[in-house]
Structure 1
Amino acid sequence: MQYNIRGKNIPVTDALRDHVEKKLSRLDRYFEEPLNAEATVTLSVTRNRQSVEVTIPLTGLMLRAEDRNDDMYAAVDLVVDKLERQIRKHKTKLNRKFRQEGSIKSLFKDETDNSAVSVAVDEDEALEVVRTKKFTLKPMDVEEAILQMNLIGHTFFMFANVDTQEVNVVYKRGDGKYGLIEQG
Structure 2
Amino acid sequence: MDIRIKSRNTELTDALREYTLDKIKKVRKYFDGILEMEVELTYEKNPSISQSHIAEVTVFTKGPVIRAVVASPDMYASIDQVVDKLERQIKKYKGKLIDRTQQPRSTKLVADLDNNSRSAGEPKIVKVKQFAIKPMTPEEAALQMELLGHDFYVFTNSETEEINVVYRRKDDNYGLIEPIYQ
User: Normalization by structure 1: what TM-score?
Assistant: 0.68
Matched, 1:42 2:4: no
Secondary structure of 1:93 counterpart: helix
Q: CA 1:74 to 1:129, structure 2 compared with 1: closer, same or farther past 3 Å? A: closer
Among the aligned pairs, what percent are the same residue? 40
Name the residue aligned to 1:52. Answer: 55
Residue pair 1:170, 1:179 contacting (<8 A) in 2 also = yes
Secondary structure of 1:64 counterpart: strand
Name the residue aligned to 1:24. Answer: 24
Q: What is the CA-CA distance between 1:137 and the residue it aligns to?
A: 0.8
Query: Counterparts of 1:168 and 1:8 in 2: how far apart (Å)?
Result: 35
Q: CA 1:55 to 1:93, structure 2 compared with 1: closer, same or farther past 3 Å? A: same
Residue pair 1:161, 1:167 contacting (<8 A) in 2 also = no
Q: What is the CA-CA distance between 1:167 and the residue it aligns to?
A: 4.6
Name the residue aligned to 2:9. Answer: 9
Query: Match of 2:75, as an amino acid?
Result: M
Q: What is the CA-CA distance between 1:166 and the residue it aligns to?
A: 5.4
Name the residue aligned to 1:145. Answer: 141
Name the residue aligned to 2:176. Answer: 180
Residue pair 1:63, 1:151 contacting (<8 A) in 2 also = yes
Matched, 1:155 2:151: yes
User: Which structure is higher in strand share?
Assistant: 1
Residue pair 1:161, 1:168 contacting (<8 A) in 2 also = no
Among 76, 80, 84, the alignment partner of 2:83 is: 80
Query: Counterparts of 1:128 and 1:68 in 2: how far apart (Å)?
Result: 23
Q: CA 1:130 to 1:73, structure 2 compared with 1: closer, same or farther past 3 Å? A: closer
Secondary structure of 2:135 counterpart: coil
Name the residue aligned to 2:70. Answer: 67
Residue pair 1:42, 1:54 contacting (<8 A) in 2 also = yes
Q: Deviations over 1:9-65 (max 9, x none)?
A: 1111111111111111111111246x442x221111112511111112223321211
Unaligned stretches of 5+ residues in structure 1:
100-125
Unaligned stretches of 5+ residues in structure 2:
103-123
Query: Counterparts of 1:9 and 1:89 in 2: how far apart (Å)?
Result: 33
Q: CA 1:132 to 1:81, structure 2 compared with 1: closer, same or farther past 3 Å? A: closer
Q: How many residues align?
A: 153
User: Normalization by structure 2: what TM-score?
Assistant: 0.69
Residue pair 2:5, 2:40 contacting (<8 A) in 1 also = yes
